[in-house]
Amino acid sequence: MNKQNYLFLITLFLSLNFGYAQISDVITGLQEPTDLIVNGNDLYISDKDVILRLDITSSSPSAVDYITGLEGPYGLIINGTELIVAESTQDKIFKVELSNATPTVVDIILGLTGPTGIAINGNELFIAEVDANKISKINLTDANPVAVDVVSGLSSPAKILLDGNNLYISEASGNKISKINITDSNPTPIDVVTGLNSPVGMVLDNNMLYIAELGANKISKVDLSNINPTAVDYVTGLNGPTGLFKNGNDFYITELNGLKVSKFTDNSLSVADFKKDREISVYPNPSDDYIKISRLKEKEKYSIYDLWGKIILKDYLNVNEKIDISNLNNGVYLLKTEKGKTLKIIKK
């Protein structure tokens, strides 16, 4: 083999193995980063005693203090124009209005036991109380919400993730992911995948569940469409990953022991599948309670019309957020995005 062909093969090998994915630091020098969430161009980070904010579109992003004077902020979730935060050390949940120039903390509920993970379903907020080994829930429309136990007897439930009626739970001490059906009056946890190493943050993208394994310094993934799901390595060489959020092809990761936020970009779509995979779609469809838009890259305005052209529902949708259609009458509707994509949805 001549030198020119040899160099060509080496270049091809490198591009096949490394050209589709890369890990880069987003911000370093943090104190105790535990969780994060992207809203539009803003990245919010829970970091020891503060919520930080930075612009992910900046070539040299720098974080600014967004909410200060906290103790152990952890789980973050966007609810419309509000940021809801689980302040673990203070045993409470609070919210701030994102549209306000100066955020004002408004307590939602006090007296919890180490709240870390939160997930929202309509007016209900589900809470992982890690120190009480249970999941509770509150009604956000109540003037003085009272926590009601959903399931107890768990093993350090760190984070939770809702997909339809399924609530996925990362049991850090149990080294597994379990799930419950939130419509059951007395739900029983079912193991989804076991043999993990201190699982914390989770992301669900279609049927693929991504898991931050704090004790294994990696992100693993599980195909939930398999009868017996098994975790396989996805990103290794991290330093205490806890929080995980997917924005387009970018995975944002809080590295607790590395004192930083890193980003893993996965562009491993094949040329043949690229056009198909970049198109957005609605799932589940038909549906009786909610829908999601897959492959949504950023926050986008949407409208839902009936077949006579009347607007039934309109709002802004964040990446991986679901649209509640439970109050719609059964039938066919059209969902139109701000960028002109029209999709047919069926409420059953």
- Give the residue from 290, 296, 289 showing the smallest Cα distance to 320: 296
pLDDT score of 95: 98
Q: What is the CATH number of domain 271-347?
A: 2.60.40.3080
Listing DSSP states for 141-179 in one string gives: TSSS---EEEE---S-EEEEEEETTEEEEEETTTTEEEE
Residue bearing tokens 């970049």 = 278
Within the chain, all domains assigned CATH 2.60.40.3080 are found at 271-347
Q: Distance between the two ends of the chain, CA-based, in angstroms?
A: 63
pLDDT of the chain, 348 residues: tens digit per residue: 444 444 433 343 333 343 345 789 999 999 999 999 999 999 999 999 999 999 999 988 899 999 999 999 999 999 999 999 999 999 999 999 999 989 999 999 999 999 999 999 999 999 999 999 999 999 999 999 999 999 999 999 999 999 999 999 999 999 999 999 999 999 999 999 999 999 999 999 988 999 999 999 999 999 998 888 999 999 999 999 999 999 988 999 999 999 999 999 886 533 334 444 456 788 888 888 999 888 777 888 898 988 777 888 989 888 888 899 999 988 888 888 887 788 888 888
pLDDT score of 21: 53
Quote the CA–CA distance of 148 and 115 in Å, as a whole number.
14
Within the chain, all domains assigned CATH 2.120.10.30 are found at 24-266
Quote the CA–CA distance of 68 and 131 in Å, as a whole number.
24
24-266: CATH topology: Neuraminidase (2.120.10)
pLDDT score of 209: 96
